[in-house]
Amino acid sequence: MRVQPRAWHIDMILIHCPYCGPREETEFLYGGESIVRPLEPSAETDDNWARYLHTRANNADTVSEQWWHSQGCQMWLWVKRNRTTHVIDSVRPFGETQ
């Protein structure tokens, strides 16, 4: 079984991890746009639940995202990143409110 080569990647973005300092993006795994899980999934309508699963803002400007510092402190982070310019506005741990 041949496995796809991993990490063929020239890192570009620097992410300032609040625990580890500025680290290159290859240390992180991207976890999609920030979403908040409904507290009572069983109370959600099918449509609302489907929206939670699949619908994302996907703007071409600053979006709140989830990143995991997998090669570092292993903490999840809220990252406000501009998807056109890659400028990162803020990086905060999951513990804090967005």
Binding site for another protein (CB under 8 A): 1-6, 8, 10-14, 29, 31, 37, 41-42, 44, 46, 49-50, 52-53, 66, 68, 70, 74-76, 85-86, 93-95
CB of 27 to another protein, least distance (A): 13
- Distance CA(30)–CA(13), nearest Å, equals 12
Residue nearer to another protein on the CB measure, 3 or 57: 3
- Distance CA(50)–CA(60), nearest Å, equals 23
Is there a contact between 91 and 72 (Cβ–Cβ < 8 Å)? no
Residue nearer to another protein on the CB measure, 5 or 58: 5
Residue nearer to another protein on the CB measure, 42 or 58: 42
- Distance CA(16)–CA(35), nearest Å, equals 21
